[in-house]
Every structure is written in C-alpha cells, then in structure tokens.
Chains A and B, each alone.
Chain A
C-alpha cells in the first residue's frame, strides 16, 4: 500500500452526504446511522417479543383450561380460529409455530444482535459508524419485510405455518399456504442476518480505535464477533434448505419426500426419492449455532454489567475469550443431538454425544469465571446488575438440564417432552431475556441521555424473576412425567398426563402475572425518554470506550477519534485516584 494511496484524494461524495442536514425520513426512517438503525432493530425486536408473548398467553389459556372457551378475547379471534371462544388445534399449532419463530428470529436476534450489536459495538470499539452503513440499512429493512411476511401469514386462508418452528418435512410440505409464507419470510430474515453479520465482522476488524487490540476488547465485542461468524456461516445452509422446501411445495419436487407416501389413504402424486432427514440435518445445522446466537450476546452484556457493578476486572478474561471462540467453533458439530430419536447408530450417537458434552465445558468455564468475578467486588445492586446476576443461576438451570438431553440414552424418555421446553426456556427466557433487559437498563442512558426509573426497574425485576420460575419450573415436572410437547390439549387424553394437569394451570397463571410485571417496564421505557433523570457521558463510571461519547452520541459518535490505552476493565486499580481507569484515558 503506497503513501500515495493513503493520501489518495478523499471521495467528494461519501456513501451519502451527511454534511448537510437530512430530512426526517432520511434521518429517522431510512437512516444509515448505526445508532438509529440499532434503535429501530431494538424496538422492532421488543415489539415482536411482546407479540410472541401474547401468542403464548393465548396458548397458555388452552393449556390450563383445555377446551374451555376463552372469555372476551376468544370471541374476537373469529370462527376460523376460536369458534365460540374455544381454540381449534389448527390455531394452537399456528400459535406454537409462530411463537417459536417470532421469539427466536424476530424477537431475540433483532434485539440482541441487531439492536445491541448495532448500537453498542461501534461505540465500544470507537468507530464512527458501521463499515457499510447502506448495507446496514438494507439489512434492517429485510428484517422488516420478513416480519411483515410472518405477520401477514396469519391472515392467509388456512392461517399461518402450523408445523412448528422446526418445520419438519413431510408435514411442512403437505401443510397449508401459511408454510409458504413462513419460508419466504425466513428467506428475508436470513438475508438480513447475513448482511448484518458481514457488516459486524468487517466493522470489528477494520474500524477498531487505535490501540484497541483484540485482547483489549470488552467481552461484549468478542461475543458479538463470534456471533456474527455463527450467523454468517450457519444461516446459508438453512437458506438452501428453505429454497428446497419451497420447491417441494410450489414446484412439486421431492427433495424431502421419500417414495410411496400415502396421505389419508391416497398415494401422494410426487416423484419421491427424497430424504426426510435431509431437512432435519440442514435445519439443525443452522439451529444449533442459532441457539448460541441467542445466548452469546446475552453473556456479553452480563459480563459488561458485572464488571461495572462489582467495580473490579472480570476474573479470567482470557479463559472466557478462548472458551467463547471454542464454543462458537464447536457449535457447528453438535447439531444432530436434536435428532437422537431419528434412528442413528452407535457411531453417530457416540460422536454427537461426545461433541455435545465437550461443548458444555466452555459454557461452564464462562459461567464459572462470571461467578468468581463477583468475589471481592464492591457490588452495587442497580437494576441492570440485578438482571445480570439473576442470569447466572437461570442460565445455570437451563444449561445443566441440557446435559441429560445430551446423553441420548437419557434423552429417550425426555425427547420432545416438556422437559425440553423447560430446558431451553430457562436459557432463553430467564436467561437471554433477562440479559437483554439488563442491557436495556444499562445502555438506555447512552441512547437517550436519560436514566430509566430505578424503582419501576426493581419492581419489573423481582416480579419477572419470581414469575419466570413459576412459569417454567413446573414444565420440568410435566416433562419428567413423560408428557409430549405441542399437544393442543396439554395431554388431556392421556391417563399418565392427568397428575400433571394442575401444573399447567400454575404455569399459565405465572405467565399472565409475568405479563403484568412487564407493564412497569413498558411504561418506564417510554416515560423515561422525556421524564427520566438526565445523565452525563458516563453515568455508571464505566471504563469502556462507548462512555467517552456524549449521550446521546451525535452523528459520527465521537468528538475526536478515541484511542485505547489499556484493557477494558481497569476498575479499582490500586493507587489510582478514582475506582475506575477508563480505557480511553491516556
């Protein structure tokens, strides 16, 4: 690279001329500013989380009181879905499939990766913006289209997808129109994630502030970096699978349809010769890395907040980083632990059980490091910290219950029962959701220049913490009793399920109460925009670079390009004047 190149004339027109004032649309809607896009992502994600939650609350009624008409709301949903207020199985299956899809792909991913990634990552590495602002905008609007498609699918004849978020073939292939919409929606969402991922990786590598080496990264940056790679390399296979399932549905091909299928007495008129398990392989090839996409940003957030509120460096930062990278790598070769009951032989089973056990170790290391980091701290219990600390045992429960599932002999009685449901909700709901809540309370001041109300925050936390456990703990009991998931009547028909029925009631009431405890949060979220206590650049006395920017940061983020002089968590350095030495202070 020659001097001349470096000194090459700066382009007169950058991607878009920021210099002159932009109109409302370019500034807030079709913006290319990573902060605006980040907030767009976050709010979209939150709204979808809320929507997915509402779907689930409907289901919880049916699970608690199978066949009992749902007062008020039940009538509004129409004869096609809830005739006389009682839920039809097709509608239950719609709700289930869409709850899963929406929560994972339209709720958590947009909030954790799109939202926090976009808003925080560039600030934390001291970048003026993302490397490709336009692509960033496109990726958000792809997500938006995907979301619209998914929502729209509820209104097509026959309703939305009904084959579970896993969309197993052949069921999904012979299912109604909603499935086609699901596939198209997924293709939008995948495209969005791919564009986002390559943007994050490039930004992280190229736009790091001077002196910010990888080992000086805040753990959150590492988490986002690894996550981006998971998205980049794991999503395309599902895209391919999606295209093939689309072909099976609209062009009548038989990628996933073996020969000789007989649907309700009638031979299926298709060529056949396909392989049903191919779909499962390609789906889980994505979906296992995907579950780590759901957790890693959460872990990153928790790490930031714990370091900040214990006022001491993270314990074992390096080991955490290595574990993280190893985790990301391993997550590509454990997918078939979701397919233990599809008839795999000893060799396959041994391989995938082993990798599954191996992948649990880095998680243990990270959790252990986070827990030990608490020791010797001077712990401040503000709302972000409460959520962050609660994350640890909640993820602990979820993670630990992954182990029996990972040993396929133990998985025999547990597979596809509520035990699995409980397992992963402990990691995603009181796990990831708590981490994300912590993040919202923590970075809200940076985004708005105001702090969210603490009292409301604490109410929100304690309420959610109790309710989450009331919702999901019973599911372990139900699952151990052997009750299958995806039963629209919670297993009313089965004698062995009878003893568990009342637990469904408990769980449901837990869920509805949980909803009540989100109200203070929603109110707080909007109220604080105008009325919250105003704060300066660095309300939490934090060390990482994002806190050197004004709150909210102007376009271009930093007054003058920041520089990193030390590691990310220099808290309570012996002999230093104050109890924190920011990365960005010489």
Chain B
C-alpha cells in the first residue's frame, strides 16, 4: 500500500507530504533556536558586563566559515537545480561539493574549539563562553546531521533517481531546505556571538 501524495502534490494544498513535514520540522527548529537566542539576550542584559565577541573569538576564521557555509548553500540549491534540468552528473558534483564544504566547516570549528580549550577557555569559564559553546555546538550537530543526509543522497540514496526521479528531486529539495535553514541560523549566530 502506498501513502498518497509522497510524490505528487495534493490538489487543494498544492503540496507533497514531505514538503509540509520538513517545514513543520523547521518551525519547531525555529522555536528551539528562538529559545536559545532569548536566553542569550536575557542573560546578557542581566550581566553587569559582557565581553565583545571579537575580543575572545577569532573573527577572520568565523568569517571564512560563514563564507564556506553560504557557498555550501549555493551548491546545494544548484544540486537541486541540476536535477530539475535532469543533469544527474552535475548534481553529483554539486552535492559532493556541499558535503565537502560542510566538512570544511566542521574541521575549522574543530580547530577553533581546540584553540579555545588550550587557552583554558571552557564553557564553565564564563557565561559568554557557555552560550558560545552551547549555541555553536548545537548548530554544529545540525550541520553534521545535514551532511549525513546529503551524503546519503549523494551516495546510496541516489539509486532512487533511476526508479523515481520526481520523488528523488523532492527529497533533495527537502534536505536542501534543512541545509539552508542551518545556514540561516549561522547567519544570525555569526554576528551575535562574534561581532557584538
């Protein structure tokens, strides 16, 4: 038995199940990060003094990472576009690129964390670092999750392209939506943590 509207859209909503599902998921993600941002503001406002991000954190490195993540968003959407144009080869390239860029991001983060830990700057040191580690850490988990999914569509998942291209394209679009959201979160994390 097949579930209706996994591939074709339902007439009255004009949407597939997956599309609605991913957006609902993102909605809950918004509330998750929303709560963290709210906590950040609340604690910062309450604090007698608060360090400027760039006095502690490495802005150039983070800027580089921002660029990496944004580029990965573009490759992601290009990957989807190539499927729309029925160019599976280019899809592979772009998708591979997306995954690699994600990897670069994680590697950079790894060194960033390592650096701070060497300097003895732990989450427990002060609330600025506490927030920094918590927010970026959670975001990092999201990046990792997105990478796994994308890698799957790049590799084994791509089999679906042969049997049901439409469905495959949809799934890539949905994992793309998640990936862009992760990028979007970073776009706000970057200034709030590093620049202010």
Contact = CB atoms under 8 A, between A and B. Distances in A.
Touching chains A and B, CB distance < 8 Å: yes
Interface of A: 1, 5-6, 8-15, 18, 128-133, 135, 194, 197-199, 201-202, 205-207, 232-237, 239-241, 243-244, 247, 251-255, 270-271, 273-275, 278, 282, 285, 555-556
Interface stretch (B53-61, B127-135, B176-184): B127-135
Contacts of B31: 233-234, 236-237
B21 interface: yes
B130 A254 contact: yes
B1 A251 contact: no
Given A132-B21, A274-B127, A251 B133 contact: yes
B3 A131 contact: yes
Interface stretch (B36-44, B67-75, B96-104): B36-44
Given A128-B3, A275-B42, A282-B35, 9 more contacts: A12-B164, A14-B6, A131-B20, A232-B24, A233-B28, A239-B35, A240-B35, A244-B39, A253-B123
B126 A275 contact: no
Interface stretch (B9-17, B80-88, B145-153, B187-195): B9-17
B2 interface: yes
Contacts of A199: 21
Nearest to A207: B4
B134 A243 contact: yes
Interface residues of B, number: 49
Interface in B143-185: 160, 163-164, 166-167
Interface in B89-124: 122-124
A11 B134 contact: no
Nearest to B159: A13
A6 B8 contact: yes
A206 B134 CA distance: 37
B7 interface: yes
A123 to B, nearest CB: 14
Given A13-B163, A253-B124, A253-B130, A236 B28 contact: yes
Nearest to A12: B163
15 contacts: A1-B8, A6-B9, A11-B6, A14-B2, A135-B21, A194-B25, A199-B21, A202-B21, A202-B24, A233-B31, A240-B33, A241-B35, A253-B134, A278-B43, A555-B1
Contacts of A251: 122-124, 130, 133
Contact of B130 (A207, A232, A255): A255
B167 A282 contact: no
A269 B189 CA distance: 29
Contacts of B4: 128, 206-207
A125 B15 CA distance: 18
Given A9-B164, A12-B163, A282-B39, A235 B134 contact: no
B28 A271 contact: no
Most central of A6, A11, A15, A243 by chain B CB within 10 Å: A11
Nearest to B160: A11
A435 to B, nearest CB: 27
Most central of A132, A194, A273 by chain B CB within 10 Å: A273
B145 to A, nearest CB: 12
A371 to B, nearest CB: 35
Given A132-B21, A237-B32, A271 B166 contact: no
Most central of A18, A244, A556 by chain B CB within 10 Å: A244
B27 A232 contact: yes
A319 to B, nearest CB: 25
Contact of A10 (B7, B29, B39): B7
A188 to B, nearest CB: 15
A278 B14 CA distance: 41
A241 B4 CA distance: 38
Contact of A252 (B2, B6, B35, B123): B123
A9 B42 CA distance: 53
A202 to B, nearest CB: 5
B96 to A, nearest CB: 25
Contacts of A285: 35
B134 A278 contact: no
Contacts of B9: 1, 5-6
Nearest to B127: A273
Contacts of B7: 5, 8, 10-11
Contacts of B35: 236-237, 239-241, 282, 285
Given A10-B2, A239-B32, A253-B134, A206 B43 contact: no
B39 A194 contact: no
